[in-house]
Structure 1
Amino acid sequence: MDFSHGVESARSRALLAGQNQALQLAIGGAPLHEVLEVLVHTAESQSSGSFLCSILLLDEDGKHLRHGAAPSLPAAYNTAIDGIAIGPAVGSCGTAAHFGHSIYVTDIARDPLWVNFKDLALQHGLRACWSTPFVSKEGTVLGTLALYYREPRGPSEEDRDTVKLIGNTAALVIQNTRMAARLKDLDATARLAADAGELGFFTWDVAADAVTWQNDRPYAIFGISRNEEPISASRFAQEFLHPEDRPAFSAAVAQAVAGGVSFHFEGRIRRKSDGVQRRVEFTGQLDAAAWERGQARVVGIAADVTDRL
């Protein structure tokens, strides 16, 4: 009976289970450090105590490594290396991040890469360190995954397999987290710009005729209460749009949906709050990702352009 195959299968299942747990936490919006700690614990749980795992994140400046997760390493050690500048001879992690490839140090006490850091490592019982950078889809270094050993040695084949899976998962989580943060910042900036320019943001599911407003400006444009639901396209055409402009509106929608092109319409409306006729302009673009799935979804802006005439 091949017991080694059974052990390997159990190990693979445990690694995949940890990976899945981390991904589920990330999808649920858990803080990044919690997600990374799950990955670190997953790696360490399969090492039988042979190594201590650490994840460091390359700062946005691309020059410094920041603490990500290393719950088993001494807190004093984590604090001491947090924010360290990368370079050609900065231990295992700083060097790996600098060159963009794995760095194997089998004996910290003797390796020249650790000359400036060996006292710190040795006082905490760390004798060897293998560090591997993990990268974005574009090949940019995002951080490092390190395995520390308490005796001079190199990584085993099992250790290499663990680092590959955990490193790839960490890269995916970190890249998505940073992308979400950037999008959030861009969204906040766009909303400020929209408010300053008196623009209304909207999304429109054409098939369902479901409209969502991303800010409050459309309420003022159409003169309706904030307690009301956003105006669907059919309601807009029937209740607000000037009858003579309805054919042009329908044609603009049909052209955008049929050709997968941008959406633009300008026409007259009757503002509900005071009955005054105003001129509005809609500028939008079909959501490319939704279009590929066979869905027509318009993302755009609305503006009262009466005073522009």
Structure 2
Amino acid sequence: MLSVTNLTKTRITKFLLISAGLCIGHSVFALENVALQLNWKHQFQFAGYYASTDMLPRNFSPDGFLSNDHSVDLLWIYRSLAIALLLLVSISAVAVYIYRRFSQSLKELETINRREHARNQALELLAKGASLTEILDAVVKSVEAKDARALCSILLMDPDGKRLNVGSAPSLPSFYRTAIDGLEIGPNAGSCGTTAYSGKRTIVENILTHPCWTSYKELAAEAGLGSCCSEPILSVTGKVLGTFAVYHHEAYKPSDADIRLIERSAHLAGIVIEKIQNARALQQSHDLLVKISAEVPGIIFQFRMYPDGRCCFPFISEAVRKMYGLAPADIREDATPFFGFRHPEDAGRLAASMQESVRNLTRWHIEYRLILPGQGTRWRLGDAHPEKLEDGSILWHGFITDITDRKNAEERIRHMAQYDALTDLPNRALFSDRLQQALAVAKREQTHLALLFMDFDKFKPVNDTLGHAIGDVLLKRAAVRMQRCVRESDTLARIGGDEFVVLLPAIETEQDAIVVAEKIRVALEKPFDIDGHVLAISSSIGIAMYPEHGGDEIELSKNADLSMYYAKQNGRNTVMVYHHEMKVVGQ
């Protein structure tokens, strides 16, 4: 067997593998280690030898038998193969590394997906209004699903901060759950009691040998529990809300991955617990506010106005149903319906008062009217204090109360002060006020007005013979007749006894005043039938004109009264207009 490598163009050749039968006068060692100059002679010698032994055909050409310019360099081939093998090994190593990293990434992604799924499931249950127990059970089961050997529990801190109550422990034996429900916290109160007491993680690899389980070893052994790792559940402020624990049946040391899982689960449980506890506290506060507001007359409210003009009632008491005919839910998001009942005459004042409160952040205080279906006009008093929020909104806290009865009482008092109690006509005080206003207008606009003074004829005998009750009825009916004779813009007033006055503003001539006076006189001379008594009276009426007969209330009233006196003196049941001769005679 022979292998020859062509080293150079000078045909220097080295044998790599030699059969003993091919040595031909050379030792194997010599041929292995010595480069020979092979010439045509050597080739013929080798070829002749092979032909004599019938190893080659006798007509075989020895040219290039051992060496030629196209011989294959086996060393180069071996080197190439070695390089290729090295590249293949390198590529394989890179592929294995990439595969391992990809597998690790897939596992991490799967872990993240499981974690997010558990988180999303808990938050979805929270959004749907599920109970705290349902949500905590879901959190616990998601952890147990990742490790079939794990048994988890969530214990909740009692409001007094001294005990733990079972929130969720679906895989623990029922007797064990009962035993740890109401567990008093302390430095050696098992893993969870110790964690709740210290606010720090407690890892117990072997329950039987750990000092904090001394009082609970038998209970744990009966439940088949060998280890327990407990993580505190904290609020955003660091307050201990409870504990999250992972048990194993055998002694067990949690890995770093186990610790991370417990931390994340405790954090998720903390979010859920705090949100539900805050919601409960808010609901309790709301319920308390509702109870208190139900005992308070009127509406208690929180009103918010956004920078874009939108308005809502974050809170408004149930009294809004009675006072506005609206349910709180109807205006909680949009307050528009609340403003639909404003009295047209008060709408402008209401808007202005609100704008001033917004502009100056001053107290909103106003009395206003509503027109409510089935109730008519009602009075309300609103009072609230504003504050500006970070987003630019204005938030008012205040109340609205029904002041209809008070306003009606005030109106009655005002009416009594300005109107005659018997005839319900304006009295002397109100008439004086209206006369002064009419005079001011007449002076400004240079117009005329007339003042009529009237006194009933033969009224005293009615009172004397039939009594004041009949006399009062007569006065009321007479007032009704006179009222029908004047315009709505005119004022008919009773100033005492059977004396009445009429103010005729914006009248053109003296004759116009006489026409009205005659209508009254004729209306009064018709008989009155009162309780079977036919009563006949008449009236004496005096007229004074502005500005001809007086420039102010005193002078005008004096002259109208004087002309009435002359009417009585001149036969009664007549109308007389003031003139200066009366004044002379009167004096």
Change (3 A) 1:74 1:305: same
Change (3 A) 1:88 1:191: same
- Name the residue aligned to 1:88: 187
Cα drift, residue 124 of structure 1: 1.4
- Name the residue aligned to 1:39: 139
User: After superposition, what is the alpha-carbon deviation per residue over 1:154-173, rounded to whole angstroms, capped at 9, x for unaligned?
Assistant: 21111111112111111111
Cα drift, residue 99 of structure 1: 0.8
Point out the more displaced range, 229-238 or 279-288.
229-238
- Name the residue aligned to 1:23: 123
**1:204-215 correspondence to structure 2 within 5 Å:** 204=303, 206=305, 207-209=309-311, 214-215=316-317
User: After superposition, what is the alpha-carbon deviation per residue over 1:10-48, rounded to whole angstroms, capped at 9, x for unaligned?
Assistant: 12211111111001101110011110111111111222x
The whole-number CA distance in structure 1 between the counterparts of 2:288 and 2:141 is 38
- Name the residue aligned to 1:124: 223
* 3-state DSSP of counterpart to 1:117: helix
- Name the residue aligned to 1:216: 318
**1:240 matches 2:342:** yes
- Name the residue aligned to 2:382: 281
**1:253 matches 2:354:** yes
- Name the residue aligned to 1:302: 400
The whole-number CA distance in structure 1 between the counterparts of 2:348 and 2:377 is 18
- Name the residue aligned to 2:237: 138
RMSD: 3.2
Change (3 A) 1:70 1:237: closer
- Name the residue aligned to 2:528: none
Change (3 A) 1:105 1:236: closer
- Name the residue aligned to 2:267: 168
**1:151-190 correspondence to structure 2 within 5 Å:** 151-190=250-289
Which amino acid is the alignment partner of residue 265 of structure 1?
H
Cα drift, residue 215 of structure 1: 3.6
The whole-number CA distance in structure 2 between the counterparts of 1:26 and 1:234 is 32
Greater RCO (CA < 8 Å, at least 6 residues apart): 1
C-alpha contact (below 8 Å) 2:232/2:240 kept by paired residues: yes
Number of aligned residues = 302
Cα drift, residue 105 of structure 1: 0.9
The whole-number CA distance in structure 2 between the counterparts of 1:225 and 1:147 is 53
C-alpha contact (below 8 Å) 1:204/1:298 kept by paired residues: yes
The TM-score, its normalising length taken from structure 2, stands at 0.47
Which amino acid is the alignment partner of residue 243 of structure 1?
E
Change (3 A) 1:256 1:34: farther
The whole-number CA distance in structure 1 between the counterparts of 2:367 and 2:106 is 71
- Larger Rg computed on CA atoms: 2
The whole-number CA distance in structure 2 between the counterparts of 1:251 and 1:183 is 35
Which amino acid is the alignment partner of residue 176 of structure 1?
K
**1:5 matches 2:105:** yes
User: After superposition, what is the alpha-carbon deviation per residue over 1:220-276, rounded to whole angstroms, capped at 9, x for unaligned?
Assistant: 334x477xx6698777667434736733x32443345457x5762322214534445
C-alpha contact (below 8 Å) 2:386/2:394 kept by paired residues: no
C-alpha contact (below 8 Å) 1:264/1:284 kept by paired residues: yes
Which amino acid is the alignment partner of residue 129 of structure 2?
G
> Unaligned regions of 5+ residues in structure 2, if any?
1-98, 411-587
The whole-number CA distance in structure 2 between the counterparts of 1:44 and 1:233 is 49
C-alpha contact (below 8 Å) 2:195/2:243 kept by paired residues: yes
- Name the residue aligned to 1:148: 247
The whole-number CA distance in structure 2 between the counterparts of 1:17 and 1:234 is 42
Change (3 A) 1:14 1:213: closer
Change (3 A) 1:37 1:196: same
The TM-score, its normalising length taken from structure 1, stands at 0.85
Cα drift, residue 211 of structure 1: 5.7
The whole-number CA distance in structure 2 between the counterparts of 1:199 and 1:296 is 22
Cα drift, residue 75 of structure 1: 1.6
Which amino acid is the alignment partner of residue 345 of structure 2?
P
User: After superposition, what is the alpha-carbon deviation per residue over 1:157-198, rounded to whole angstroms, capped at 9, x for unaligned?
Assistant: 111111121111111110110111111111111111111112
